Structure 1
Amino acid sequence: MMTIDELLAANCSHQETGLADPQINQYLAMLDGWMRQDGHILKTYTFVDYYQTLAFVNAIAWMIHAQDHHPDLQVGYNRCIVKYSTHSVDEGRGGISENDFICAVKVDAIFQQAHGQP
């Protein structure tokens, strides 16, 4: 299992095997605000207005493209829900892989940087 710093430095790779429940729970315990729901991990980010919400979506778009690991995004006026799962794991049935946590940490870092948080 990787640390937060290792996840932040890592890049996504092709995954065919998902993580087991204990591993998923350990990673979720390390991440603030992320939760597991219906075979995904997700987090809701809140903003002052629609402009800030879209700026966030645009900021994470580059990382998403570079990692070639695309979340489902639900965008509203002052919030964005980021939802990750890995479609290729477990013989195409989908599940949660380390790639999901790599990207979750990177999304958090982009949000924190934009909001002046360490």
Structure 2
Amino acid sequence: MNATANDLIRKQCKPCEGNMPPLSPNEITLLMQQLEGWEFFDKIIRKSYNFKNYYQTMAFVNAIAWISHREDHHPDIMVGYNRCKVEYTTHAINGLSENDFICAAKIDTLFNI
């Protein structure tokens, strides 16, 4: 059975205090297949979103903040007038964790509403 973004959306982030190793290249490859439009770069996954105006951009950023608070996993966000770039990495392990992919999938759901 192929995993999908829906599988990630149903999960909750788990606390990560650096007591686990970062994901392996094979694990990252499999999880990247579940996300659409995300890029893997070094120890980061990132995606850019475009909007019609600043209000829509900021509404999206506020929704990301809500998800981040709820999951207790926070991205780096770069905001412009009609665009937003989101980057995830797990700083505690100096690499990627499943939490990064869970949050990425949840954010994509917001954008597609």
Scaled by the length of structure 2, the TM-score of the pair is 0.90
CA RMSD of aligned residues (A): 1.4
Q: Tell me if the contact between 2:3 and 2:34 (Cα under 8 Å) persists in the aligned partners.
A: no
| Structure 1: stretches of 5+ with no match in the other structure | 114-118
Separation (CA, whole Å) in 2 of partners of 1:76 and 1:25: 30
Say which SS state the counterpart of residue 33 (structure 2) adopts: helix
Give the match for residue 66 of structure 2. 62
Query: Given residue 47 of structure 1, which amino acid in structure 2 is its aligned partner?
Result: F
Question: Which runs of at least 4 in structure 1 moved beyond 4 Å after TM superposition?
Answer: none
Separation (CA, whole Å) in 1 of partners of 2:63 and 2:4: 24
Q: CA offset at residue 5 of structure 1?
A: 1.9
Q: Does 1:29 align with 2:30?
A: no
- How many residue pairs match? The answer is 109
Q: CA offset at residue 61 of structure 1?
A: 1.2
1:81-96 matches, cutoff 5 A: 81-89=85-93, 94-96=94-96
Give the match for residue 103 of structure 1. 103
Give the match for residue 48 of structure 2. 44
Say which SS state the counterpart of residue 64 (structure 1) adopts: helix
Of all paired residues, the percent bearing the same amino acid is 49
Give the match for residue 11 of structure 2. 10
Per-residue deviation, residues 60-102 of structure 1 (Å, max 9, x unmatched): 211110000000000011110000000112xxxx100100000
Separation (CA, whole Å) in 2 of partners of 1:29 and 1:59: 24
Separation (CA, whole Å) in 2 of partners of 1:12 and 1:81: 21
Query: Given residue 9 of structure 2, which amino acid in structure 1 is its aligned partner?
Result: L
Report which stretch shifted further, 78-87 or 2-11. Answer: 2-11
